[in-house]
């Protein structure tokens, strides 16, 4: 599936919820199912320090594809991370670099991408794209 298709799939899933509680419960659930992050990789260089919740992000490049792993100490943040990883894991650098991330807005979780430095998500997205750019430069040129 393309990153666009995955995003549309997520939007579909969320469309059945008609109130925020269900959405957030689903998000929390999603967060709880996020693949475990290797504690050893909770290094300062993998840390994205939000004012509020902390995010750890790591990535590997294998056979043309990127494998992201990530974690957060806040479960709601973790839920969003899980969604982002679903969109972007096992995608090529070009896929990641060229994605227009529209689903977060569409599923009504935009407040999680506020311009505050609160949860580190905005930086996380930036860093995921930066990984893609770096891998492309390193392995594909």
Partner 1 sequence: MFEIEKIRKQFPILKQKVNGKDLVYLDNGATVQKPEQVIDIINKMYSQYNSNIHRGVHYLSNKSTELYEGSRETIRKFINAGVTEEIIFTKGTTDAINLIAFSFGEKFINEGDEILIAETEHHSNIVPWQMLCKRKKAHIKVIPADENGELILSEYKKLLNKKTKLVAVAHVANSTGIINPIEEIIAEAHKSGAKVLIDGAQAVQHKKVDVQQLNCDFYVFSGHKMYAETGIGVLYGKKELLEEIPPYQGGGDMIKSVSFAKTEYADLPLKFEAGTSNYVGAISMGEAVNFINSIGKANLERHETELLKYAEEKLSLIDGLTIYGKSENKTSAISFLLHRIHFYDVGMILDKLGIAVRTGAHCAEPTMKHFGITGTVRASFAVYNTKEEIDILSEGILKAQKMLS
Site of interaction with partner 1 (CB under 8 A): 20-21, 24-25, 28, 49, 51-54, 73-77, 111-112, 114-119
The greatest distance separating any two alpha carbons of the chain, rounded to the nearest whole angstrom, comes to: 47
- SS3 at position 29: helix
Residues across the chain: 141
Question: Closest by alpha carbon to 125, among 91, 95, 65, 80?
Answer: 80
The Cα 86–Cα 78 span in angstroms is: 12
Nearer of residues 75 and 97 to partner 1, judged by Cβ:
75
Nearer of residues 1 and 51 to partner 1, judged by Cβ:
51
Report in angstroms how near the CB of residue 94 gets to partner 1 at its nearest. 25
Nearer of residues 57 and 109 to partner 1, judged by Cβ:
109
Residue in 1, 28, 47, 51 annotated catalytic: 51
106 is catalytic: no
Instruction: Show which residues are catalytic.
Output: 51
């Amino acid at each position: 599936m393309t990153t666009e298709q995955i995003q549309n799939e997520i939007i579909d899933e969320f469309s059945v919820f008609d109130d925020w509680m269900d959405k957030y419960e689903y998000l929390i659930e999603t967060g709880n199912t996020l693949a475990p992050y290797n504690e050893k990789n909770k290094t300062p260089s993998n840390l994205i320090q939000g004012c509020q919740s902390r995010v750890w992000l790591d990535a590997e490049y294998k056979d043309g594809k990127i494998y992201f792993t990530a974690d957060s100490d806040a479960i709601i943040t973790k839920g969003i991370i899980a969604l982002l990883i679903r969109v972007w894991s096992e995608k090529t650098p070009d896929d990641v670099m060229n994605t227009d991330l529209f689903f977060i807005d569409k599923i009504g979780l935009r407040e999680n991408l506020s311009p505050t430095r609160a949860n580190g998500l905005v930086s996380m997205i930036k860093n995921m794209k930066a990984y893609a750019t770096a891998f492309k430069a390193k392995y594909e040129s």
